[in-house]
Structure 1
């Protein structure tokens, strides 16, 4: 898909973490399937997993447990899964931030501190950040707008020009995450897991426009912005508007397309 020539050069890149910089999605599936098999349940299908990706923990738990129907409370399931995550997650050797809450973020990145050090703590917005109102996780735009505000706060201190949302490039693997980026008024790269891409085969353009209907609230409020300290929700994009692009890998990334100069 061609990128609109009218879009400004990128001045900031905002990254999701799970499934994008860290190959955690397959490990999550391994852990989940071990528990499901213990109780004679089928493996987690991508039709369900696609609904869990990128969502805040409480909403993802609700969707999963409604499907799984395990004889476990959510807390008991979490305890079992946490034990398995401690077994599998230390195998991750890739290089940031998103809906993961603080505990999981540290669990998944503690052994990658040298890589994640490029993201200053000030510019890490996690899923349990108190500045994000309950129920305002992805696909709402708040987490990306807040990430941008952390950058702009630093620029204001230096007396430098602040960044506009359209000067930001969001890197996402999940469908709700793409919609969050679009509703934030930002340009987006969608780099999904191959099986997630297969799940949305034929609907790629709707995903890139943020038109999959993931976000249910605040429709028609207008373009997303942070105004007077309050985060407002925005509208998605339009099909083929050039603001988002599907890449199956970030290898050989087309920096020049986005006006990004590599020194």
Structure 2
């Protein structure tokens, strides 16, 4: 995260990108393109996915054709793939913090526009499944309504024009480098929320870089602040995961002195895609031991520079023995802070303990304490199984 640069003009209007900023479009892209490639004798490479971020549909199609050597023209490829995408638009989930931000801006009468490289018809299809979204925007601009898409400033300038406001009074929130470039070229202030992990250094032109929409602080820009933080925590829509405790990287107890109960990341690819990295907290249920307070990191642990995104819960209780293989269920109910790097191991350890103290105190609040009684924490799992869904061991990492 990068601290915001000084404001040169009064911010009165907000312009939001759609794909990758408000909606988890990346998961749909892989679901559609991956099987198409398999049919053509190719294998989807997730490491190349970042090349598609912020592109117009035509540009993205050209990139896929080039990267995988497919024997089609861009027009042919689009004609085959577009119907497959259209069937999935209604399944795209909102990213964490998206609904909260949209509702906040609307309730505080902050004029807000939606500006995307997607076509206007695709935008309409995507947002129609999200209650209240369409009525929350003063203007909606698609890539097919302007001469050039992002990184050209045309889309943002058109959005400002439709809202009858000077571009310098607009704040753009974008996940892609082309989007950030477009916003700055339009003379607007820009918050970058990079959707591609571990590439924040590429977004230095943005006025502020944040980890996720959960970290937006409107008051920084002279806009009405959120008032939903409680005791240094943000209540979130609960999510539920479970599985067997596995051995981790061997650094929790040995390096940090903080034993964590790791879950197999490969079982939670959908959850890891849906939820942004950061520090969360909630309740943990061990099938044979009981229910405990828990603080949890999700992400790449920048200090250790992980190559994969992980889920690492720390049960706030002293255990006399390891419990590898035991079933662990988690109900995640709140958010504390974004993932961050630290200048030293000591400062990292100090912050982890501070997170634990915050979670310990917050979980006594009624809004969080009630989830300790969740039946999900008590229902036994079959040995070796894993669960991701709605409500119906501490290792030496």
Whether these two folds match at TM > 0.5 is yes
Q: Do 1:29 and 1:44's aligned partners in 2 also have CA atoms closer than 8 Å?
A: no
Q: Which residue of 2 aligns with 1:111?
A: 129
Q: Which residue of 2 aligns with 1:240?
A: none
- Per-residue deviation, residues 176-229 of structure 1 (Å, max 9, x unmatched): 101111111111111122xx132x25xx1x4231xxxxxxxxxxxxxxxxxxxx
Q: Which residue of 1 aligns with 2:61?
A: 61
Which among 104, 126, 134 is matched to residue 142 of structure 2? 126
| Superposed displacement of residue 259, structure 1 | 0.8
Larger relative helix fraction: 1
Which among 108, 115, 138 is matched to residue 97 of structure 1? 115
Q: Which residue of 1 aligns with 2:30?
A: 29
| Superposed displacement of residue 262, structure 1 | 4.4
CA distance in structure 2 between the aligned counterparts of 1:77 and 1:5, rounded to whole angstroms: 45
Q: Do 1:90 and 1:108's aligned partners in 2 also have CA atoms closer than 8 Å?
A: yes
Q: Which residue of 1 aligns with 2:154?
A: 142
Q: Do 2:172 and 2:189's aligned partners in 1 also have CA atoms closer than 8 Å?
A: yes
For residues 165-204 of structure 1, what are the structure 2 equivalents within 5 Å? 165-193=167-195, 196-198=196-198, 200=199, 204=201
Q: Do 2:193 and 2:212's aligned partners in 1 also have CA atoms closer than 8 Å?
A: yes
TM-score, reference length from structure 1:
0.70
Kindly name which structure, 1 or 2, has the bigger radius of gyration based on alpha carbons: 2
Q: Which residue of 1 aligns with 2:70?
A: 70
Q: Which residue of 2 aligns with 1:247?
A: 210
- CA 1:40–1:20: 2 relative to 1, 3 Å: same
CA distance in structure 1 between the aligned counterparts of 2:7 and 2:173, rounded to whole angstroms: 20
| Superposed displacement of residue 83, structure 1 | 4.0
Q: How many residues align?
A: 207
- CA 1:197–1:244: 2 relative to 1, 3 Å: farther
Query: Superposition RMSD on alpha carbons, in Å?
Result: 2.3
TM-score, reference length from structure 2:
0.48
Larger relative strand fraction: 2
- Other structure's SS at 1:106 match: helix
Q: Do 2:16 and 2:172's aligned partners in 1 also have CA atoms closer than 8 Å?
A: yes
Q: Which runs of 4+ in 1 moved over 6 A?
A: none
My pick for the range that moved more, 7-16 or 76-85, is 76-85
- CA 1:59–1:83: 2 relative to 1, 3 Å: closer
- CA 1:6–1:77: 2 relative to 1, 3 Å: closer
The unaligned stretches of length 5 or more in structure 1 are 153-162, 210-242
Q: Do 1:14 and 1:168's aligned partners in 2 also have CA atoms closer than 8 Å?
A: yes
- Per-residue deviation, residues 79-131 of structure 1 (Å, max 9, x unmatched): 443343244332234354311112322332232352221114xx1110100xx
Q: Do 1:35 and 1:80's aligned partners in 2 also have CA atoms closer than 8 Å?
A: no
CA distance in structure 2 between the aligned counterparts of 1:180 and 1:252, rounded to whole angstroms: 22
Are 1:10 and 2:6 an aligned pair?
no
